[in-house]
Amino acid sequence: MDEELRVLIVDDDEVDRMTIRRSLRPSSLPLTIEEAKDAASAIAMVQDRPFHWILLDYRLPDLDGLSLVKQLRRLKITVPLIILTRQGDEQVAADAMKAGASDYLAKGRISSEGLSRLLRSSLRLHKAEQRTLLANEKLKETNDLLRKKNQELKSQQQKIEQQNRQLIDVYQLKSDFLTTMSHELRTPLNAILGFSQVLSNQNRGTLNDYQSEVVKRIFSNGKKLLDLVNDILDLSKIETQQFKLKTASVDVSQLALMTVAELKSLAESKDLDFRITIQLQNPIAQLDQRCLRRILFNLITNAIKFTDSGFVSLKIVDPHPEYIEIYVQDSGVGISEVQLPHIFEVFRQADQSIRRRHSGIGLGLAITYSMVQMMQGKISVDSVEGKGTTFQVTVPLTLSQLKKTGK
């Protein structure tokens, strides 16, 4: 040990102090020894400067050793306190150790070797206790910090839960509003479409060319508005989990051809090459016919809308006996890499500007994505801006088969 170690001897007997001092001198420890004749002096000295050991006589003129030990410990003096006792005072020493003394030594048995060994062992024990105390304090600080953090996290969690409840309420109000408004709008729209068809048939009177053209425009725009209202209503039902699948036997080939026939005029009006390939070993599937038709309708309509020249193709195959694959490809404007990850989001379009060329509010692909998910299928898109887009949809022939295969 290179560090200077300070020892305080507290004893009113000068001979005993001299004996202890002589016993300490042969020690290999680098010691500095100081003395006090009474408890008051000892207290003043330990408050003024630090010591590594305190050797104190049990019987002092102003205070007994037991009381001094207690007072030193109350002053946060943690260094080893060694009680010096007379012969036969072992019980007294034991009481002192209960009060906080580190060890005791009978004055009649003091030797240089024994005292040096006692000092070394008590110092090692003291340092170990200090390390343990420091570790416990750090552990307590860490626990207090963790407790505080847990309380903060709990408070934040409660706030988040409250905000989530509020968002759910607002979301529900929005869905209820959309559902109600959609229902309210469909009635007058159906009436407008009906009346325009009556006028277009000219059963109650002849229309001139201008009037006939206006009636056609009324019907066309009314139909677009009704489709928009139906999209909003379907989206609202899907979001509130009110849209229920109705599984039935569906001839996929026939349904696809019917959908293509309905949309063929749109492709012809833009002079597009409409290609159709249906290769199904078993065209009968147990699916929701509404969802499958809507998926085909939305993807083909989307392809035609964003293709000014070239082709639009529909391909349906069954590479596996448990699911079918649908490909809708076009040579249209394509989708940028920036927009590609967001195309299935609600109210999202590749062109978000007010002056965009193509109409719509961005519900078609969002509804398509939701319906594919409801049928436990998958949809993906591959696109190159300026060169075209390909959508791939994979759906099971039956829901139970998909659950077994994990497709």
Q: How far apart are CA 129 and CA 389, in angstroms?
A: 74
For 165-239, the fitting CATH number among 1.10.287, 2.40.128, 3.30.450, 2.60.40 is 1.10.287
pLDDT of 123 strictly over 50: yes
378 vs 395: CA distance, rounded Å: 7
Nearest Cα to 370, choosing from 400, 346, 339? 346
Helix axes 364-374, 209-239, angle to 10 degrees: 40
Least Cα distance to 294 among 353, 358, 231 occurs for: 231
End-to-end CA distance of the chain: 73
- Token pair for residue 40? 């008051």
- Distance, in Å, from the CA atom of 178 to the CA atom of 237, rounded to the nearest integer, reads 9
Residue 111's pLDDT is: 83
Tokens 């489709």 label which residue? 227
pLDDT, tens digit, 9 for 90 and up, residues 181-240: 766 777 787 888 887 888 888 777 788 888 888 888 888 888 778 777 777 777 777 776
Instruction: Return the domain boundaries, the chain.
Output: 5-110, 165-239, 247-405
Pick the CATH number of 5-110 from 3.40.50.2300, 1.10.3720.10, 3.40.50.10860, 2.40.70.10: 3.40.50.2300
Q: What is the mean pLDDT of the chain?
A: 84
**Structure confidence by residue, pLDDT tens digits, 10-57:** 999 999 899 988 888 887 888 899 999 999 999 999 999 999 999 998
The proportion of the chain whose per-residue pLDDT surpasses 70, expressed as a percent, equals 90
Quote the pLDDT of residue 403.
Answer: 42
Q: Which fold has domain 247-405?
A: Heat Shock Protein 90 (3.30.565)
Common-topology check for domains 165-239 and 247-405: no
Q: Which pLDDT score, from 0 to 100, does residue 166 have?
A: 85
Residue that wins the pLDDT comparison between 303 and 28: 303
Mean pLDDT, residues 174-187: 71
Q: Are strands 378-384 and 323-330 parallel, antiparallel or unpaired?
A: unpaired
Total-model pTM: 0.52
Count of beta carbons in the 10 Å neighbourhood of residue 407: 15
pLDDT for residue 180: 74
Average pLDDT over residues 379-395: 94
CA separation for the pair 120, 118 (Å, rounded): 5
What are the E-state strand segments in 64-208?
Answer: 81-85, 103-106
Q: 299 pLDDT exceeds 90?
A: yes
CA–CA separation, 156 and 357 (whole Å): 46
Residue type, 237: K
